[in-house]
């Protein structure tokens, strides 16, 4: 065993000596080794990991494999090129330019690869987790910005670009940009507040302080989109959304409370009225039975006894249709049960005309 090791070291020393004498040959050997290594890395990621995924219960997404395998072998090739350039001992200026170009390519490969990997992870997270999708969207956007800033910083470092003049003028430029884009910044931070506080989510029905009601379609970094029942889309800046009162009809429970007010004649049976209204609510498929519908006798009106049916529609989107169906069903049920719905009446009395009660003209007094 010792002899084999000694023979290997002797051959290695001989090959190294030849490579030191023949720089081009040594560079070709280094590049060939890293080319083979790149092929092996690509084979391992694309074949072996995919084989493990298919033959085991390990949840490895095929898209994930496709995202990382290309940047991996390109990285190995670029590292081999960097070592090759170092081995050749080029002129200082040429060596600086070649190394800077190769390192720039490495930065681009890493930035693009990490960006696609982050997008893939967020997409899988989005599919598996239906709650908190706005936070996932925010994480993806912030991650892209941070990745871009890091890539630009590394690029400036590689090319040894002095950014002191840029930093000196950054204060003035930043102040001018902040003043010009104060509304945009306010909307951005308002969007962050919405993502963190989560007063509503995509798909919720909300009522704005100005009276608009609709379904939240999208919560962006700059604005929030809602679609009204008239299929009109309203874009609201996040700075306004974060500083206004909003009623969320879908929270904390997705159901929506429906109130149906109706008056019945004074000679009606109160038990019969209550039973009729409850029967209508229980027969409607869009009404939630937890909590159960209920009827309340509210007041003695001028012309009728005021009742109110309280029930819960399963979703706020069903509000208009449910009210329509309940009104029609209550009217029909009252007609079947001979329960009358009175309307206001006024009695007008005409007094007979009395001539003696008229004052005489002023000249005849």
Per-position pLDDT tens, the chain of length 365: 666 676 656 655 666 665 555 677 777 888 888 888 888 888 887 777 666 666 665 555 566 666 787 888 899 899 999 988 888 887 888 888 889 999 999 999 999 988 888 888 877 776 665 555 666 776 777 788 889 888 988 888 888 887 666 666 656 656 565 555 677 777 777 877 887 788 888 889 999 888 888 999 888 778 889 998 888 899 988 888 888 888 998 888 888 899 999 999 999 999 999 999 999 999 999 999 888 999 999 999 988 999 999 999 998 888 899 999 999 999 999 999 999 999 877 778 777 766 665 555 555 55
Determine the pLDDT at residue 324: 95
d(CA 259, CA 293): 10
For the record, the structure tokens of 322 come out as: 């449910």
C-alpha gyration radius of the chain: 39
Determine the pLDDT at residue 333: 95
SS3 assignment, position 215? strand
For the record, the structure tokens of 314 come out as: 């399963």
Q: What angle do CA 276, 280, 281 make, to 5 degrees?
A: 120
- The domains of the chain are located at 13-166, 185-248, 256-336
Q: Which residue has the tokens 């929506």?
A: 256
d(CA 61, CA 118): 13
Q: Which residue has the tokens 């084979």?
A: 43
Whole-prediction pTM: 0.54
CATH topology of domain 256-336: Alpha-Beta Plaits (3.30.70)
Determine the pLDDT at residue 193: 80
Determine the pLDDT at residue 167: 60
For the record, the structure tokens of 213 come out as: 């009601």
Class for the domain spanning 185-248? mainly beta
For the record, the structure tokens of 221 come out as: 């970094």
Asked if residue 195 lies in contact with residue 134, where contact means CB atoms within 8 angstroms, the answer is yes
Asked if residue 287 lies in contact with residue 314, where contact means CB atoms within 8 angstroms, the answer is yes
Determine the pLDDT at residue 133: 63
d(CA 262, CA 304): 9
Determine the pLDDT at residue 161: 82
């Amino acid at each position: 065993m010792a002899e084999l090791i000694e023979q290997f070291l002797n051959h290695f020393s001989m090959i190294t000596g030849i490579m030191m004498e023949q720089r081009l040959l040594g560079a070709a050997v280094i590049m060939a080794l890293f080319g083979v290594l790149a092929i092996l890395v690509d084979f391992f990621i694309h074949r072996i990991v995919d084989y493990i995924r298919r033959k085991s219960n390990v949840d490895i997404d095929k898209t994930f494999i496709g995202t990382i395998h290309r940047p991996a072998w390109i990285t190995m090739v670029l590292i081999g090129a960097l070592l090759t350039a170092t081995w050749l001992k080029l002129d200082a200026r040429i060596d600086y330019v070649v190394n800077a170009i190769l390192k720039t390519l490495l930065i681009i490969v890493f930035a693009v690869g990490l960006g696609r990997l982050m997008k893939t992870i967020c997409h899988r997270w989005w599919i598996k987790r239906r709650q908190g999708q706005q936070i996932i969207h925010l994480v993806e956007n912030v991650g892209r910005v941070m990745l871009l800033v890091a890539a630009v910083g590394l690029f400036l470092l590689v090319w040894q670009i002095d950014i002191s003049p840029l930093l000196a003028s950054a204060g003035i430029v930043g102040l001018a940009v902040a003043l010009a884009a104060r509304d945009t910044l306010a909307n951005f931070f308002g969007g962050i507040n919405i993502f963190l506080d989560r007063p509503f989510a995509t798909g919720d029905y909300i009522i704005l302080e100005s009276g608009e009601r609709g379904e939240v379609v999208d919560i962006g970094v700059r604005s929030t989109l809602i679609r009204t029942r008239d299929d009109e889309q309203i874009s609201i800046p996040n700075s306004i959304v974060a500083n206004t009162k909003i009623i969320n009809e879908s929270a904390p429970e997705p159901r929506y409370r429906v109130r149906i007010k109706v008056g019945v004649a004074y000679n009606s049976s109160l038990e019969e009225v209550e039973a009729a209204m409850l029967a209508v609510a229980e027969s409607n498929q869009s009404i939630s039975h937890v909590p159960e519908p209920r009827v309340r006798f509210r007041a003695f009106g001028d012309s009728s006894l005021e009742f109110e049916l309280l029930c819960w529609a399963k979703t706020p989107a069903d509000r208009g249709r449910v009210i329509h169906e309940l009104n029609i069903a209550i009217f029909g049920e009252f007609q079947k049960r001979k329960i009358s719905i009175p309307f206001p009446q006024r009695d007008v009395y005409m007094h007979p005309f009395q001539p003696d009660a008229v004052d005489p003209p002023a000249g005849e007094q």
